[in-house]
Structure formats: C-alpha cells, structure tokens
Amino acid sequence: MLAPVAVQSLHRMSAPDLALVVIYLVGITLFGLRFRSKDRSLKSYFLADRTIPWWAIALSIVAAETSTLTVISVPGLAYTGNWGFLQVVLGYLLGRIVICVIFLPRYFRGDLLTAYQVIGQRFGPKLHRLTALLFLFLRAAAEGVRVFAVSIVVGIAIGTNDIVSIAIICALTLAYTLEGGLAAVIWTDVTQMCLYIGGTIIAVIVLGHQITNGWSAVYAAGLVTGKLRIFDFALNLTQNYTFWAGMIGGCFLTMASHGTDQLMVQRLLAAKNLRESRIALLSSGLVILVQFALFLAIGTGLYFFNQGSGAHLSLSPDRVFPIFIVQYMPVGITGLLVAAILAAAMSNLSAAVNSLSSTSVVDFYLRWRPESSDEQRARLSRLMTFFWAVVLFVLALMSRTAGHVVEVGLSIASVAYGSLLGVFLLGTLTRRANERGAIVGMVCGFAINLILWKQPHAWSFPLAGFRVTVPKIGWTWFVLIGSLFTFVVGWATSCLPFTKTEVLKEGEAA
C-alpha cells in the first residue's frame, strides 16, 4: 500500500478558503454583468451577434460539456474502477468529425437561431415543435441532476443543506445570464474553465505530494492492479465501458449532444463562419481528452492514497474528491479548488438556461406571434431565462440519488438523444422521409430507449415457441439504439401510402 505523507483531521473550510470562494462568486457575477447590452435583438441575446472567436467557443464548449458531474464523479469512476471511461472520450472525438461533415454545413445555411429550425425547414411545423419540446424535456431533466451535484460540494465544504447550496449558485448564475445573454455565458465560461483546469492541475500536484514516492508509485501500483487499464475489446452490450461501446456509443452520443442539442449548437452558431465553427468543435475535443485524463488520474491517485492511509474518505465515490479537497488540501488551495468546481457548475447552468430560453422563444413563441416587436421578444427572452432557472432549481432538489451522478446524467440524456439524432439523420441523409413518418419513428425510438433505461435487470418473454432473453443494456448504447430505431422506422413508415406527404425542399420554410 502507498502511505500518505500526512493525514489531517476532518474539518470544514477555513475562513481564508471560504473568503476566497465568496470573492470568486461575487467576482464572476460582476464580470458577467459587464456584458449587459442595449441591443434588444434575439441574434444579439442568443448568438452574441456571431462575433465570438473560435478559441473562446472551443473553451466554452468544454466548459458546458464538463459540469460539476465531471469534476466530482469522473474521479469516482477511476476510484472504484479503472480508466475505461476514456474509451467513451475517444468516441467523443470521432463524433465531432461526423458533426463537422454532416450537420454544421446545414446549420450555416440561412439565419438560424436554433437547431430545430432545420427540422422545421426540412419536415414541417409539427416535427419542429416536437423536437424542440423533446429538447426542453431532455435538457431540463439532465441539468437537474447536474445542478444537484453542486450541493455535494458546497455541503461538504461549508455545511449548508441542499436547498441553500443550490439556491446560491442558481441566483448568482441567473444574475449575469439574465442580462448578458450568450456573450456573458461564453466569456464567463472561458474564465471559469481556466480556473477549474488550473485547479485540477494543482490537485494533481498536491495529491502526488500526499503519497509516498508520488505519482511514480501510483503508476507502478496501477499497472500491477489494473487500475490504469483503458481498453476492453469485449463485445458486450451490458457493459458501459468497452472499446466498442466507447467508440460507437460515444460517437453517437456526441453526434446527438453536440449536433442536435441547442446547448451546444447555439455556441457553434455563434461563430463568425462555418470554418471557425468547425475549428472550435474539433479543438474542443483535444482539450476534453486531456481534461478527462486528468480527472481519471486524480481518481486513481485517491484510491491508492485511501488504501495507504486507511482514511476511508467516503462510502460514496462521488464524494471522495470533494472530501479530499476539504480535508487534505493546504489553506488557500482548498478554496481555489472549491471555487473551481463551482465554476464548472455555474458555466453549465448558465448555458442551460440560455439554451432553454432560446428554444422556448424561437421555436414556440415566434411561430405563434411572428409579428411581435423586438422589445416584446427581449422581455420574453429574459422572462424565460428566469423561468427555466427556477425549473432547474426545483428539478435539482428532486434529483437526489445514489450512485455515480455522472452516469445518471448521461443516461437520462441518452434516452432522448437517440430519437433526436435519428430525426436529424433522417432529414440529412434521406429525401424520402416525410414528417408523418419521422414523427412515428421518433416516438418509437424514444419509447425503446425509455424501456431500456427503466429496465431494472435482464428480462425474458416467449416468442414463436422460444424464450427470448433481453439483457440489461449499458447506457452507452442508448443513443445508437434509439437513433437506429428512429431512422429505420421513420424511413419505412414514410414509404407507406397513407403517410406520404409533400416533402419540403431543402431550405424551404415550413
């Protein structure tokens, strides 16, 4: 076992650390408020007038993709297992390439504000509203779990309960998101990402000093115990982290999350042109790979630290890293790391409420009241931003659950992502598919993923004299299965005589 250099007693954050966190929270809120604009147009509020440089969009994508779930739960995955999650990240890189080829060119044809306007142009208003509604459900449900993760950190650090912890973060994030729109979201993302990446690197250094012989000893012990294992080439649908589940499942998950989710598409649309949008997306993948490797390294280091000290940091793997930060980090560093984790939470929350607001206004209100004035649209945009912040606060309180919260969040997202991606592929890769067929396919794809998600264990049923057994499918396969069902059923249904309708020409408004 690897012995820690020193073990401190359990305590809450010191006064200097707490002061550092408070200074950060106030500072980032005031920084975000600087982007308050007098321009009342939707393009300014939701796309920052398409003036954001590619590197800022890339960092903002990483910040939105990370969240508190990543910071506290990915180390927990390595703590209880190995580096298998990195296989999913490799799939993320492949998915980005596909998006650059298939989706981004479509998004930059015309003056679009949301991803779902493309569906309206290709299929019609019914499917446009349905896909936008599914996004609202998906993003709100998944974001509720992410926001709840904040309470784990804040509760451990300063001892506040869930309601107070989540309320503080929601209120401060809402303040600058409400006034500054996407410009405030992206530039605070850039600032906050630099903070939590810097905090992560400091955590790696400090953790190495807490273990005898440092990271070289962790590496040697990890090789012997298999804690550093990355690749598993088993073809097994019941396992979440295999090479095939990671490359294929991760690819489809990214195609859905970055190619059909307004949270990410909104950032890509804020680029000056298609070329810069592509550069931003591809470069963000390289940053994500390095970032996840750092978080997994922390989890492995914490495992051997805990083994050597017998400290038993926590029974819950999601709490191991936050507890280590509070108990074993030097004064000042603890405050910095807690602020870094809160930075990840605030950047993700601000992106979520802004994207939910843009979809509510553009995909629903403007279709109902296209003659509304800029002043009315601006007022409603801010009202919807406030509304969705309250909704996410409530959902966060309902999301208290056991297990790896990062897996809970990703599995919830994967349920809806499959049908969303299937519809986008139908509209992009086929000309035969029509609105009625796509709606049938979307409903079927969502239903099959919902069944797979709610399936507690393997189940069997009789079929043609045989007994068919369906295993418990790993969440990494949900998007692939859902999108294939949506695509195949949607295409086949479109071929039936009673579902045939006039297929809109590319670029034609619904």
Interatomic CA distance for residues 149 and 131, integer angstroms: 27
Asked if residue 507 is part of any domain, the answer here is no
Interatomic CA distance for residues 172 and 184, integer angstroms: 13
pLDDT of amino acid 177: 85
Asked if residue 322 is part of any domain, the answer here is yes
In the block, tokens 């009625």 appear at 436
Whether residue 264 contacts residue 107, with contact meaning beta carbons closer than 8 Å, is answered with no
How many domains does one find in the chain?
1
Asked if residue 1 is part of any domain, the answer here is no
Helix (H, G, I), strand (E, B) or coil at 466: strand
Interatomic CA distance for residues 161 and 168, integer angstroms: 11
Q: Does pTM surpass 0.75?
A: yes
pLDDT of amino acid 185: 86
Q: Which among 170, 194, 204 is positioned nearest to 393, based on CA atoms?
A: 170
Interatomic CA distance for residues 108 and 156, integer angstroms: 45
Q: Structure tokens of 192?
A: 């906050």
Interatomic CA distance for residues 247 and 253, integer angstroms: 10
Whether residue 75 contacts residue 319, with contact meaning beta carbons closer than 8 Å, is answered with no
Identify the domain containing residue 386 by its residue range: 15-36+43-499
pLDDT of amino acid 191: 86
| Residue 47, domain CATH | 1.20.1730.10
Asked if residue 508 is part of any domain, the answer here is no
Asked if residue 5 is part of any domain, the answer here is no
Whether residue 263 contacts residue 388, with contact meaning beta carbons closer than 8 Å, is answered with no
Interatomic CA distance for residues 42 and 299, integer angstroms: 43
pLDDT of amino acid 200: 84
Asked if residue 26 is part of any domain, the answer here is yes
pLDDT of amino acid 503: 46
What are all long-range contacts of 448-451, with beta carbons under 8 Å and residues at least 24 apart?
A: 448/418, 448/481, 448/482, 448/485, 449/414, 449/415, 449/416, 449/418, 449/419, 449/478, 449/481, 449/482, 450/415
DSSP single-letter state for residue 365: I
DSSP string, 293-358: HHHHHHHHHHHHHHHHH-----SSHHHHHHHHHHHHSPTTHHHHHHHHHHHHHHHHHHHHHHHHHH
Asked if residue 6 is part of any domain, the answer here is no
Interatomic CA distance for residues 293 and 287, integer angstroms: 10
Helix (H, G, I), strand (E, B) or coil at 434: coil
Q: Which among 329, 79, 78 is positioned nearest to 208, based on CA atoms?
A: 329
Helix (H, G, I), strand (E, B) or coil at 227: coil
Asked if residue 9 is part of any domain, the answer here is no
pLDDT of amino acid 407: 54
Interatomic CA distance for residues 421 and 480, integer angstroms: 9
CA 202, 203, 206, 209 torsion: positive or negative? negative
Q: Which among 351, 377, 378, 393 is positioned nearest to 177, based on CA atoms?
A: 351
pLDDT tens-digit profile, the chain (510 residues)? 454 444 443 446 778 888 888 888 888 888 888 887 766 678 888 888 888 999 999 999 998 887 666 777 888 889 988 999 999 999 999 999 999 999 999 888 877 788 888 888 889 889 999 999 888 887 887 777 777 766 666 666 666 666 777 787 788 888 888 878 888 889 988 988 888 788 888 889 989 888 888 899 999 999 999 999 999 898 887 787 889 989 998 899 899 989 988 889 989 999 999 999 999 999 999 999 999 999 999 999 998 888 766 555 556 777 788 788 877 888 888 887 778 777 777 777 888 888 899 899 988 888 888 888 878 888 898 899 899 988 888 877 776 554 444 555 556 667 788 899 999 999 888 888 899 999 999 999 999 888 887 776 666 767 666 776 767 787 778 889 999 999 999 999 998 876 655 544 434 433
Whether residue 424 contacts residue 260, with contact meaning beta carbons closer than 8 Å, is answered with yes
Rg (CA), the chain: 23
Whether residue 148 contacts residue 336, with contact meaning beta carbons closer than 8 Å, is answered with no
Q: Which among 443, 509, 507 is positioned nearest to 106, based on CA atoms?
A: 507
Whether residue 100 contacts residue 253, with contact meaning beta carbons closer than 8 Å, is answered with no
